[in-house]
Amino acid sequence: MLTLALGKRRSGPASRDPGTVLRDVFGFERFRGHQEEIVGHVLAGGDALVLMPTGGGKSLCYQVPALCLEGLTVVVSPLIALMQDQVQALTQAGVRAAALNSSLPPDEQRATERAMAEGMLDLLYVAPERLAAPGFLDRLERCRLALFAIDEAHCVSQWGHDFRPDYLQLAILHERFPQVPRLALTATADGPTRNDIIQRLALEEGRVFVSGFDRPNIRYRIGLKNNPRRQLLAFIQAEHKGEAGIVYCLSRAKVEEIAAWLKEQGVEALPYHAGLPPEQRARNQERFLREDGLVMVATIAFGMGIDKPDVRFVAHLDLPKSLEAYYQETGRAGRDGLPSNAWMVYGLEDVTKLKGLIARSEADDRQRQLDHRKLDSMLGYCETTRCRREVLLGYFGETYEGPCGSCDTCLEPVATFDGTEHAQKLLSAIYRTGQRFGAGHVIDVLRGQASDRAVELGHDRLSVFGVGRELSGAGWRSVLRQLVTLGLVTVDTEGFGALHLGEGVRAVLRGERRVALRHDPEPRPKAARRAARQAPPPVLDGATQGLFDVLKAWRRDLAREQGVPPYVIFHDTTLLAAASERPGDMDALAHLPGMGRVKLERYGPALLRTLREAGC
């Protein structure tokens, strides 16, 4: 229960009870995780830094206090698209919210400023540069202020990956309005970034709320690349037909190619990369947000500020450069908490490509070393035989006691074997052939293939010739990939991919260091059937799924009429609950998650009619 005693710096008395606001306005029964504690702390006038994973429910941490307190809550947000989404969603719930940013027509901006001055707004979203605009702080000074919320707070830190110089000015809020509580929120902050945020925003006196970073509704899977396009198609067809997803590729050319190919195969896919004309990029992004079930094939240029809650999968056709990037990209799946997939295929060529990029980069030695280390952690994650969630969270400094039961290594444990002898053979073959040849030739020599080249070079007379007949070509490539990952072999990325001996080889050759290798599953031609077998069991029975589809179509029409994305009207979670519970009257409707009072009045009757017409 919230204390109504006046906090030392509270700007206005809390006039509404947070639990009531949560139910009435947002349609949720109870707070999640730290939400209640955070709301209580803010209402008592405290500052705080909130670290919560994507989908954890950060927005309610300031939206609920904004509606409990008298006065205006100012939300600083770096991205215009995000602001618009939030404002539309709040407006749908009957909240007095607006945004100020450079993309709005001047008369709309003036109207918002007037509403702000007259105390007609509860929440105002602003871009950081707006705060610095002449006269804006003076204008704020004339308002009754309830709270400052600083979203995506990691943007203030140069350690973070999205540093925005404009965020540095936010320290001024504390200087100009010391009595107004401030709440900084982010989903991504390691130790140094966290300290940086606290220092730069002068939050030393505030509390820090840290939630675990696990995303329990995301299933992690990594397969070996053999025919990536087919593997991707099989995955989408078996598990995500008609659902929204993002496919990440490294290059623009590949993005275009994969998007076109998926389209030919009947998957609604759009390309997105920095090389497209800005209008087309904006149009594709807009379609992805507003239409149900589109697949966006994109470079990493896509995703920042995409708040679409119903992205059901994120697929990687190329290896990300670091686990930070991987976690951020896969984190765009399943914001709404429904089951989602993080899926990737990778192979030796990914490893050599990325190592080559780092080696050839303009960065200084220190940076290059750091990049190599990050890539090595990424590779370690790919090759791990442990629970993926354990490795992933461990990397971010969180102890997670696996097995999680919903990653591929938990579901199909990977067998390992003592591969020391294989490693010795491969390393010897690389050494004996002079560290001048690529994988193909070295493996030919091992397998005793007397190719013209081998004979010409006299390699058929080497002691290592034919010592590795026990493995197939694919088997040796698997060994090689793992030795590269372990750093025992390096690939010359400047020339033709010649293999060299890496560090620590001597101990392996002498038998002082054992090498454990994983058994790669054999690629099977019936990839689709295999994927289907691994798919999570369908959550919905046929009738419920049918009803869910009907409700989605109803929502789509509403969204189109109003020119907003469907998810600002209702999240999938609300429609799913309606499809499975089939409420028969307004009372029953009121209990659906996400059904606040205003939405109930506005959409309830039509929703009941739609359900009835569908035979409920």
The footprint of ligand ADP (CB under 6 A) covers 28, 31-32, 35, 52, 54-60, 309, 335-337, 571, 593
Would you give the DSSP letter of residue 486?
Answer: T
Minimum CB distance to ligand ADP, residue 190 (Å): 18
| Helix (H) or strand (E) run with residue 54 in it | none
Helix, strand, coil tally for the chain in percent (to 5): 50, 10, 40
Q: Which of 4, 134, 159 is nearest to 68 (CA)?
A: 4
Which of ligand ADP, Zn ion, none sits in contact with 336, Cβ below 5 to 8 A by type?
A: ligand ADP
Q: Which of 43, 66, 41 is nearest to 207 (CA)?
A: 41
Minimum CB distance to ligand ADP, residue 52 (Å): 5
Q: Cβ(50)–Cβ(64) under 8 Å? A: no
Minimum CB distance to ligand ADP, residue 295 (Å): 21
Minimum CB distance to ligand ADP, residue 264 (Å): 34
Nearer to ligand ADP by Cβ, of 132 and 539: the residue is 539
Token pair of 28 as six digits: 């949720």
In sequence order, what are the beta bridge partners of 219? 341
Nearer to Zn ion by Cβ, of 40 and 216: the residue is 216
- Could you tell me how far CA 410 lies from the centroid of its own chain? 21
Nearer to Zn ion by Cβ, of 308 and 389: the residue is 389
Minimum CB distance to Zn ion, residue 394 (Å): 12
Which of ligand ADP, Zn ion, none sits in contact with 173, Cβ below 5 to 8 A by type?
A: none
Q: Report if residue 222 touches Zn ion, rule: CB under 5 A.
A: no
Which of ligand ADP, Zn ion, none sits in contact with 56, Cβ below 5 to 8 A by type?
A: ligand ADP
Please confirm whether the linkage preceding 403 is cis (ω < 30° from 0): yes
Q: Report if residue 87 touches Zn ion, rule: CB under 5 A.
A: no
Which of Zn ion, ligand ADP, none sits in contact with 410, Cβ below 5 to 8 A by type?
A: Zn ion
Q: Which of 178, 158, 149, 153 is nearest to 69 (CA)?
A: 149
Which of Zn ion, ligand ADP, none sits in contact with 233, Cβ below 5 to 8 A by type?
A: none
Minimum CB distance to ligand ADP, residue 37 (Å): 13
Q: Report if residue 218 touches Zn ion, rule: CB under 5 A.
A: no
Nearer to Zn ion by Cβ, of 216 and 487: the residue is 216
Size of the site for Zn ion (CB under 5 A): 6
Nearer to ligand ADP by Cβ, of 55 and 320: the residue is 55
Minimum CB distance to Zn ion, residue 384 (Å): 10
SS (H, E, C) 379-441: HHHHHCCCCHHHHHHHHCCCCCCCCCCCEHHHHCCCCEEECHHHHHHHHHHHHHCCCCCCHHH
Nearer to ligand ADP by Cβ, of 75 and 488: the residue is 75
Minimum CB distance to ligand ADP, residue 3 (Å): 21
Minimum CB distance to ligand ADP, residue 399 (Å): 22
Amino acid letter, 492: D
Amino acid letter, 208: V
Collapsed DSSP state (helix, strand, coil) of residue 118: coil
Distance from C-alpha of 219 to C-alpha of 75, rounded to nearest angstrom:
33
> Which strands, in side-by-side order, build the sheet including 269-272?
218-224, 340-346, 313-316, 245-248, 295-298, 269-272
Site string for Zn ion, 375-414 (x = CB under 5 A): ------------x-x-------------xx--x--x----
Interface residues toward Zn ion, by CB under 5 A:
387, 389, 403-404, 407, 410
